[in-house]
A and B are shown apart, each in its own frame.
Chain A
Amino acid sequence: MNRSWIYIMVGALFEVCWVIGFKHADDWVTWLGTAISVLISFTLIIIASTKLPVGTVYAVFTGLGTGGTVLAEMILFDEPVKVAKLLLIALLLAGVLGLKLVGGSSDSKEVAH
């Protein structure tokens, strides 16, 4: 497998970590961990997008980040599972992925190069 895809997946894991931190961090240790996770995830996404089209990298990253965050809050933090909420989040994600992948933005011009 292309190394860039591994960067994207590890980056998405750290993405979920900093999202959890934004909600649950409450002392300097956890905030430091959150800040480090932000740096790692952004570094990995930037490295991945030097090798792969930016629109694709961003779309996969966002998809994994959104899915991971929703799963994490249900599994780790006992958030109630509401079908309507999950469907709406899926609709929102479909819209974001569509926008990123359909082209017409400056990102996708880069893809065409």
Chain B
Amino acid sequence: MAWISLILAGMFEVVGVLGMNRIKRDNNAQAYLLFSSGIILSFICLSFAMKSLPMGTAYAIWTGIGTVGGALVGMFFFGESKEWRRILFIAMVLAAAVGLKLIS
């Protein structure tokens, strides 16, 4: 349950960051709503996950999923670069997250 909550927290972080980019571009109420709901839900899920997972592990994976999720959304929806180094770094984050899950 903690791990599911942690993965959700990372995904909501991506929603929050999308909202942040919208605020930069459109600066309307919808953008602020997307940003604030993403960040708040992300924090709630992260806090829940941390009740049973070590703090450092949970924080690292939260950041990792947020960053990888942001990069994947950028690649698939906003035409960002899919160069091999970006794919390699994404694979490193995911491998590390799976490893942390296995040893915990």
Contacts and interface: CB of A to CB of B under 8 A. Distances in A.
Q: How large is the interface on B (under 10, 10 to 19, 20 to 34, 35 or more residues)?
A: 35 or more
Contacts of B57: 85, 89
A38 B47 CA distance: 13
Given A85-B100, A105-B74, A106-B74, A99 B56 contact: no
A19 B47 CA distance: 8
B59 interface: yes
Contact of A66 (B54, B59, B83): B59
Interface in B15-61: 21, 43, 46-47, 50-51, 54-61
B51 A23 contact: yes
A19 B54 CA distance: 11
Interface of B: 21, 43, 46-47, 50-51, 54-61, 63-64, 67-68, 70-71, 74, 78, 80-81, 83, 85-86, 88-93, 95-97, 99-100, 103-104
